[in-house]
Amino acid sequence: MSQFLPTAPYRGTRDFLPAEMSVRTQVFGRLYDVIERYGYQRYDGPILEPVEIYEAKSSREIVEQQLYTLTDRGDRRLALRPEMTPSVARMIAGNAGRLQFPVRWYSHPNCHRYERPQRGRVREHWQINVDVFGSDSAACEIEFFELVHDLMAAIGATPDMWRLRVNDRVLLDAMLTGVVGIGADAVRDVAGLVDRWEKYPADKLAADAAAMGLTDKQFDRLTEVLAAGRAVLDEIPGEVKEQSKLMRVLDSTAADLVTFDPLIVRGFDYYTATVFEVFDTHPDNRRSLFGGGRYDNLVGLYSAQRIPGFGFGMGDVTLFDFLGTHGLLPEARNEIDVVVIATEAELADAARTVARGLRGAGVRTSTPLDIRKLGKEIQRADKSGARAIVIVGRDDWDAGTVTVRDLASGEQRQVQADATPAEVRSILDS
């Protein structure tokens, strides 16, 4: 057995080295900018929550198979959060008395689920969550659909690369009971079957349907309904459609933002009406990227006050798979602009003085921690991605000057030490 501890991270988690973090920071920064332009404010919450908040409304798959749970010394059952929505509902309920509704919030937590690691799934992921609380208006749906389009544009995606597919739990229930003829007690199980419809072959779906008690006729009718697209809405009673906020979107000028699709279900129990998912259209990555919907009763787990909500979660794993598939990943940025190099140990303080001036001017500046040959330090600066170096030599410093070299062109000039920031800035801006 090795005498050393393992260097690999726990299975299903990831290390992010600086180059990877640079890429991630650029992508997330673009998304934050769009979200904040819509008026959303960032919040955060604890990574540990009571197990009960997930048992109440999260999907059975998460509760029964994916929760990381523990019991603390006070015998309280806790879980590492697998998602953020129950937490933000708790926070809204607990602070409702001092909030001005509607509330627009977003977050970017890391979440944990015990899953079998594979493409698109890991055990720890980071998820951007965007939610609005306190409005029943269909304007929420429209705002979120517009937001999704702007987010995708911000990461360089063109409309042909993805589709925004929508459904409504109210309409889905009417389809299953009124059109397919399924009993109300079987709706939840059959909705789960619909949620798996694109993932399994027809014979597997038929076998699962039979196990739920569906007749061959009902299964055939279900197949027809799910393939009908928007046409199935003609078979749903008008009074049901009047309850649907999604129908107001589909009947408005915002209809071109979305594609109605009876196959969209979303597995979480807390969704009550509109649900949506964004799908990659590339043949190498045909899968859901992220989704969300309306949850009008979730805050009711914590409070008698009715506070409707609408939101979505965008996970980092599927997002970066999408970007990689379409060649949209940005290049890692250099994390240093200039390196200040002292030619001898006695000039280390002088180099630090120059570096402080550059940092004060907003220039990302590094100084070597050890004195090495000048040629070696110039090579290291070049490999680090620095655009310039400042050489602090004995004769120059005694004369009150330093040498500034543009590493791209090789040109260099002596400048007064206090003019170093301006000279370096001119190189960076060129």
- CATH (domain of 421): 3.40.50.800
Residues 75 and 122 in one domain: yes
Percentage of residues in the chain having pLDDT higher than 70: 98
The mean per-residue pLDDT over the stretch 9-29 comes to: 95
Q: Using CA atoms, how far apart are residues 417 and 288, in angstroms rounded to an integer?
A: 56
- Calculated CA dihedral for residues 277, 281, 287, 293, nearest 10 degrees: 0
Domain boundary at 302, 325, 348, which? Answer: 325
User: What pLDDT does residue 269 have?
Assistant: 78
Residues 319 and 222 in one domain: yes
Q: Is residue 358 part of a domain?
A: yes
User: Which residue, 50, 91, 2, 137, is CA-closest to 298?
Assistant: 91
Contacts of 252 (CB under 8 A, 6+ apart): 138, 142
Residues 116 and 203 in one domain: yes
Q: Using CA atoms, how far apart are residues 233 and 262, in angstroms rounded to an integer?
A: 9
Question: What are residue 341's DSSP bridge partners?
Answer: 391
Domain boundary at 272, 304, 325, which? Answer: 325
Q: Is residue 187 part of a domain?
A: yes
CA 54 distance to own-chain centroid: 20
Decide if pLDDT at 267 tops 80: no
Which pLDDT band holds residue 42 (cuts at 50, 70, 90)?
very high
Decide if pLDDT at 38 tops 70: yes
Which pLDDT band holds residue 7 (cuts at 50, 70, 90)?
very high
Residues 316 and 359 in one domain: no
pLDDT single digits (tens) 302-356:
889 999 999 999 999 999 999 999 999 999 998 899 999 999 999 999 999 999 9
User: What pLDDT does residue 301 have?
Assistant: 85
Q: Using CA atoms, how far apart are residues 376 and 15, in angstroms rounded to an integer?
A: 30
User: What pLDDT does residue 59 have?
Assistant: 67
Residues 73 and 24 in one domain: yes
- Calculated CA dihedral for residues 140, 143, 144, 146, nearest 10 degrees: 160
CATH number of residue 298's parent domain: 3.30.930.10
User: Which residue, 382, 366, 371, is CA-closest to 342?
Assistant: 371
User: What pLDDT does residue 102 have?
Assistant: 97
Question: Can you give the pTM of this predicted structure?
Answer: 0.90
Residues 346 and 293 in one domain: no
The mean per-residue pLDDT over the stretch 87-95 comes to: 94
Residues 307 and 366 in one domain: no
Residues 116 and 194 in one domain: yes
Residues 347 and 416 in one domain: yes
Decide if pLDDT at 120 tops 90: no
Decide if pLDDT at 1 tops 70: no
Residues 42 and 83 in one domain: yes
Cβ-contact 426, 413 below 8 angstroms: no
User: What pLDDT does residue 354 have?
Assistant: 98
The mean per-residue pLDDT over the stretch 71-95 comes to: 94
**Between β-strands 365-366 and 338-342, what pairing exists: parallel, antiparallel or unpaired?**
parallel
Q: Using CA atoms, how far apart are residues 60 and 82, in angstroms rounded to an integer?
A: 12
- The dihedral of CA 340, 343, 349, 353: what is its sign? negative
The mean per-residue pLDDT over the stretch 251-270 comes to: 91
CA 201 distance to own-chain centroid: 30
Q: Is residue 209 part of a domain?
A: yes
User: What pLDDT does residue 62 have?
Assistant: 76
Residues 241 and 383 in one domain: no
Residues 320 and 372 in one domain: no
Domain boundary at 292, 325, 358, which? Answer: 325
Q: Is residue 32 part of a domain?
A: yes
Q: Using CA atoms, how far apart are residues 412 and 398, in angstroms rounded to an integer?
A: 19
269 or 221, greater pLDDT: 221
User: What pLDDT does residue 155 have?
Assistant: 98
Full domain range(s) for residue 422: 338-428
User: Which residue, 400, 399, 402, is CA-closest to 389?
Assistant: 402
pLDDT single digits (tens) 165-188:
999 999 999 999 999 999 999 999
Contacts of 244 (CB under 8 A, 6+ apart): 168, 170, 171, 273, 274
Q: Is residue 250 part of a domain?
A: yes
Q: Give the total number of structural domains in the chain.
A: 2
Q: Is residue 118 part of a domain?
A: yes
Cβ-contact 405, 391 below 8 angstroms: yes
Which pLDDT band holds residue 53 (cuts at 50, 70, 90)?
confident
Q: Is residue 11 part of a domain?
A: no
**Between β-strands 365-366 and 41-42, what pairing exists: parallel, antiparallel or unpaired?**
unpaired
Cβ-contact 127, 45 below 8 angstroms: no
Contacts of 362 (CB under 8 A, 6+ apart): none
Q: Is residue 49 part of a domain?
A: yes
